[in-house]
Amino acid sequence: MAINLQKGQKIDIGLTKMSVGLGWNPNEGTGYDFDLDASAFMIDANRLIPAEEFFVFYGNTDSPDRALHHTGDDPTGGNSADGDDEIIEVDLSKVDSRVQEILFVVTIHEATQRKQNYGQVRNSYIRIVDDSNGQEVAKYELGEDFSIETAVEFGRLYKRDGKWKFEASGIGYKEDLSFFLSKYYKGQIIK
Protein backbone atom coordinates (compact mmCIF):
# COMPACT_ATOMS: atom_id res chain seq x y z
CA MET A 1 0.00 0.00 0.00
CA ALA A 2 1.32 3.43 -0.97
CA ILE A 3 2.26 6.02 1.63
CA ASN A 4 0.54 9.39 1.25
CA LEU A 5 3.22 11.84 2.26
CA GLN A 6 2.82 15.20 3.97
CA LYS A 7 5.08 18.18 3.32
CA GLY A 8 8.45 17.61 4.98
CA GLN A 9 7.82 13.92 5.60
CA LYS A 10 10.80 11.62 5.02
CA ILE A 11 10.80 7.91 4.24
CA ASP A 12 13.35 5.19 3.57
CA ILE A 13 13.13 4.29 -0.10
CA GLY A 14 14.24 0.66 0.06
CA LEU A 15 14.36 0.49 -3.74
CA THR A 16 17.08 0.58 -6.34
CA LYS A 17 15.07 1.04 -9.54
CA MET A 18 12.08 3.34 -9.52
CA SER A 19 10.15 5.82 -11.59
CA VAL A 20 9.48 9.29 -10.26
CA GLY A 21 6.22 10.42 -11.83
CA LEU A 22 5.07 14.01 -11.79
CA GLY A 23 1.55 15.07 -12.69
CA TRP A 24 -0.60 18.19 -12.91
CA ASN A 25 -3.75 19.55 -14.49
CA PRO A 26 -3.90 23.18 -15.65
CA ASN A 27 -7.16 25.03 -15.15
CA GLU A 28 -9.15 25.59 -18.33
CA GLY A 29 -9.57 28.96 -19.99
CA THR A 30 -6.36 30.61 -18.81
CA GLY A 31 -5.37 31.74 -22.31
CA TYR A 32 -2.17 29.95 -23.19
CA ASP A 33 -1.46 26.23 -22.93
CA PHE A 34 0.51 25.33 -19.83
CA ASP A 35 3.92 23.76 -20.39
CA LEU A 36 5.24 22.43 -17.11
CA ASP A 37 8.71 20.88 -17.16
CA ALA A 38 10.08 18.30 -14.74
CA SER A 39 13.81 18.45 -14.04
CA ALA A 40 16.25 16.66 -11.75
CA PHE A 41 19.38 18.15 -10.23
CA MET A 42 22.00 15.63 -9.07
CA ILE A 43 23.82 17.44 -6.27
CA ASP A 44 27.12 16.74 -4.51
CA ALA A 45 28.19 17.42 -0.92
CA ASN A 46 28.82 21.09 -1.82
CA ARG A 47 25.16 21.44 -2.93
CA LEU A 48 26.23 21.79 -6.58
CA ILE A 49 25.83 19.59 -9.65
CA PRO A 50 29.28 18.10 -10.45
CA ALA A 51 28.94 18.89 -14.17
CA GLU A 52 26.28 20.31 -16.48
CA GLU A 53 25.25 16.80 -17.58
CA PHE A 54 24.01 16.04 -14.05
CA PHE A 55 21.08 18.38 -14.73
CA VAL A 56 18.45 16.07 -16.30
CA PHE A 57 15.51 17.56 -18.20
CA TYR A 58 13.78 17.29 -21.58
CA GLY A 59 16.91 18.68 -23.32
CA ASN A 60 19.32 16.29 -21.55
CA THR A 61 17.39 13.10 -20.92
CA ASP A 62 20.20 10.98 -19.44
CA SER A 63 22.67 11.64 -16.65
CA PRO A 64 26.28 10.70 -17.50
CA ASP A 65 26.22 7.82 -14.99
CA ARG A 66 22.99 6.52 -16.60
CA ALA A 67 21.26 6.65 -13.20
CA LEU A 68 18.54 9.04 -14.39
CA HIS A 69 16.49 9.01 -17.58
CA HIS A 70 13.84 11.62 -18.43
CA THR A 71 11.24 9.92 -20.64
CA GLY A 72 10.35 13.13 -22.50
CA ASP A 73 8.67 16.49 -22.45
CA ASP A 74 4.91 16.89 -22.23
CA PRO A 75 4.41 20.45 -23.53
CA THR A 76 0.66 20.53 -22.83
CA GLY A 77 0.10 18.41 -19.71
CA GLY A 78 -2.02 16.15 -21.87
CA ASN A 79 0.04 12.95 -21.68
CA SER A 80 -2.52 11.53 -19.32
CA ALA A 81 -5.85 12.68 -17.99
CA ASP A 82 -5.23 11.02 -14.63
CA GLY A 83 -1.64 9.76 -14.67
CA ASP A 84 1.92 11.02 -14.80
CA ASP A 85 2.64 13.83 -17.23
CA GLU A 86 6.44 13.47 -17.05
CA ILE A 87 8.53 10.63 -15.66
CA ILE A 88 12.14 10.41 -14.56
CA GLU A 89 13.43 6.85 -14.23
CA VAL A 90 15.97 6.33 -11.45
CA ASP A 91 18.49 3.55 -10.85
CA LEU A 92 20.17 4.32 -7.52
CA SER A 93 22.78 1.58 -8.07
CA LYS A 94 24.28 3.66 -10.89
CA VAL A 95 24.38 7.07 -9.18
CA ASP A 96 27.82 8.70 -9.38
CA SER A 97 29.58 8.49 -5.99
CA ARG A 98 29.82 12.31 -5.82
CA VAL A 99 26.03 12.69 -5.89
CA GLN A 100 24.41 12.91 -2.46
CA GLU A 101 21.01 14.29 -3.38
CA ILE A 102 18.61 14.41 -6.34
CA LEU A 103 16.13 17.31 -6.42
CA PHE A 104 12.94 17.07 -8.47
CA VAL A 105 11.70 20.46 -9.64
CA VAL A 106 8.79 21.43 -11.89
CA THR A 107 8.84 24.82 -13.58
CA ILE A 108 6.24 26.56 -15.74
CA HIS A 109 7.79 27.30 -19.13
CA GLU A 110 7.55 31.00 -20.07
CA ALA A 111 5.46 31.66 -16.95
CA THR A 112 6.19 35.39 -16.86
CA GLN A 113 5.42 35.98 -20.53
CA ARG A 114 2.24 33.90 -20.34
CA LYS A 115 1.22 35.31 -16.93
CA GLN A 116 0.94 31.81 -15.45
CA ASN A 117 1.54 30.45 -11.95
CA TYR A 118 0.77 27.44 -9.79
CA GLY A 119 -2.47 29.08 -8.67
CA GLN A 120 -3.76 28.08 -12.11
CA VAL A 121 -2.67 24.45 -11.73
CA ARG A 122 -4.47 21.74 -9.77
CA ASN A 123 -3.91 18.09 -8.79
CA SER A 124 -0.11 18.43 -8.75
CA TYR A 125 1.85 15.52 -7.31
CA ILE A 126 5.07 13.55 -7.24
CA ARG A 127 5.01 9.80 -6.78
CA ILE A 128 7.49 6.96 -6.59
CA VAL A 129 6.74 3.71 -8.39
CA ASP A 130 8.66 0.46 -7.84
CA ASP A 131 9.91 -0.53 -11.31
CA SER A 132 10.00 -4.23 -10.38
CA ASN A 133 6.21 -4.49 -10.01
CA GLY A 134 4.69 -1.17 -11.13
CA GLN A 135 3.30 -0.49 -7.65
CA GLU A 136 3.12 3.03 -6.25
CA VAL A 137 5.26 3.23 -3.10
CA ALA A 138 4.71 6.83 -2.05
CA LYS A 139 2.87 9.90 -3.26
CA TYR A 140 2.96 13.54 -2.26
CA GLU A 141 0.07 15.69 -3.44
CA LEU A 142 0.80 19.39 -3.56
CA GLY A 143 -2.23 20.51 -1.60
CA GLU A 144 -1.10 24.05 -0.85
CA ASP A 145 -2.17 27.03 -2.86
CA PHE A 146 0.90 28.39 -4.59
CA SER A 147 -0.83 31.44 -5.99
CA ILE A 148 2.20 33.35 -7.29
CA GLU A 149 4.86 30.66 -7.58
CA THR A 150 6.11 29.56 -11.00
CA ALA A 151 8.33 26.70 -9.84
CA VAL A 152 8.07 24.04 -7.15
CA GLU A 153 10.65 21.70 -5.66
CA PHE A 154 8.37 18.68 -5.27
CA GLY A 155 10.73 16.28 -3.55
CA ARG A 156 14.23 14.99 -3.16
CA LEU A 157 16.08 11.72 -2.88
CA TYR A 158 19.04 12.02 -0.53
CA LYS A 159 21.68 9.73 0.91
CA ARG A 160 22.14 9.39 4.68
CA ASP A 161 24.41 6.78 6.24
CA GLY A 162 24.69 4.97 2.92
CA LYS A 163 20.92 4.65 2.45
CA TRP A 164 18.65 6.57 0.10
CA LYS A 165 15.66 8.36 1.55
CA PHE A 166 12.91 10.52 0.04
CA GLU A 167 11.55 13.79 1.37
CA ALA A 168 8.37 15.50 0.18
CA SER A 169 9.59 19.09 -0.16
CA GLY A 170 6.75 21.25 -1.49
CA ILE A 171 8.83 24.43 -1.70
CA GLY A 172 7.51 27.10 -4.05
CA TYR A 173 9.55 29.72 -5.89
CA LYS A 174 8.65 32.71 -8.02
CA GLU A 175 11.50 31.84 -10.36
CA ASP A 176 12.28 30.02 -13.60
CA LEU A 177 14.67 27.22 -14.51
CA SER A 178 17.64 29.60 -14.84
CA PHE A 179 17.33 30.37 -11.11
CA PHE A 180 17.91 26.71 -10.21
CA LEU A 181 20.80 26.44 -12.65
CA SER A 182 22.49 29.49 -11.13
CA LYS A 183 21.90 28.10 -7.63
CA TYR A 184 23.21 24.57 -8.27
CA TYR A 185 25.68 24.97 -11.14
CA LYS A 186 28.65 27.34 -11.10
CA GLY A 187 30.09 26.45 -14.51
CA GLN A 188 29.21 27.99 -17.84
CA ILE A 189 26.14 26.57 -19.55
CA ILE A 190 26.87 25.63 -23.13
CA LYS A 191 23.90 26.25 -25.40
**Contact status, residue 101 vs residue 120, Cβ threshold 8 Å:** no
pLDDT, tens only, 161-172:
989 999 999 888
Report the alpha-carbon distance of residue 8 to residue 25 in Å, rounded.
23
Please state, for a pLDDT cut of 90, what percent of the chain lies above it: 47
Q: Using 50, 70 and 90 to split pLDDT, how confident is the model at 191?
A: very low
Domains with residue ranges and CATH for the chain? 17-135+144-184 (2.60.60.30)
Report the alpha-carbon distance of residue 50 to residue 73 in Å, rounded.
24
Q: Using 50, 70 and 90 to split pLDDT, how confident is the model at 33?
A: confident
More confident call, 86 vs 33: 86
Q: In what order do the strands lie in the sheet with 151-160?
A: 10-12, 163-173, 151-160, 101-108, 36-43, 55-56
**Which range in 24-33, 62-71, 102-111 is most confidently predicted, on average pLDDT?**
62-71
- What is the structure's pLDDT at 147? 77
Average pLDDT over residues 81-102: 91
